[in-house]
Amino acid sequence: MNTPSKLILIAVFSILAPFTTFGASADVMVVVNGNTEVNRESFNFIRKVFSFDGVKYSINATMDPSTVKAGQYKTVVVLNTGVASGVDPVLQKFISGYADKKSLYLVNLFKGKKDLTITTFQAASNNLGVDGISAASAWGRGFGGDPQQMHREWVRELVLFLGRN
């Protein structure tokens, strides 16, 4: 093989390699409804905690729930933000139509609920039939004095859910 051919192959590989790595199958898919600051920050916080705590799950996110199919991921995290209570209608429709409810984990980060503490719930206790956790999307210093402690706590609960099998 001549030198120009080798250079072309190296260039093609250099361009394609990052995309194949990015497109590699993740263990955990986070489904969000919209590119909001809360969604971005929450997803980035999950990744940071996973990295810092040595959690060995690969994680990715999507704003298009229709691309997520049952059996495709070990766990699908539905990140419900932007509401004061309940579940965003787009996410509720996704959850209702998802065939493998046992692999779903609903994270409710309710806005305007600074005094809300962490509340976990089981599939049997709600009409959506999924496990999950509710917390405040923002809060004062009331939760142990550390404004990130509540976020770390719900991510820990998510990790416990991931390790269930």
For residue 156, pLDDT beyond 80: yes
For residue 153, pLDDT beyond 80: yes
Amino acid at 27: D
Q: What end-to-end distance do the CA atoms of the chain give, in Å?
A: 49
Mean pLDDT in residue range 18-39? 73
SS (H, E, C) 28-54: EEEEECCCCHHHHHHHHHHHHHHHHHC
Domain residue extents for the chain: 26-162
Q: How confident is the model at residue 151 (pLDDT cuts 50, 70, 90)?
A: confident
CA 74 – CA 70 distance, rounded (Å) = 9
Could you give the percent of the chain with pLDDT greater than 70? 76
The position carrying tokens 């405040």 is: 136
Assessment of whether the complete model's pTM goes beyond 0.75: yes
Could you give the percent of the chain with pLDDT greater than 90? 60
Determine the pLDDT at residue 8: 45
Beta carbons of 96 and 104 less than 8 angstroms apart: no
User: β-pairing, 75-81 with 59-62?
Assistant: unpaired
pLDDT in tens, 31-51: 999 999 989 999 999 999 999
Q: Among 47-51, 75-79, 132-136, 137-141, name the one with the lowest average pLDDT.
A: 137-141
Beta carbons of 30 and 62 less than 8 angstroms apart: yes
Determine the pLDDT at residue 70: 94
CA 63 – CA 114 distance, rounded (Å) = 26
Question: Where does 26-162 sit in CATH, by number?
Answer: 3.40.50
Determine the pLDDT at residue 79: 97
pLDDT in tens, 81-99: 999 999 999 999 999 999 9
**137 against 120, higher pLDDT:** 120
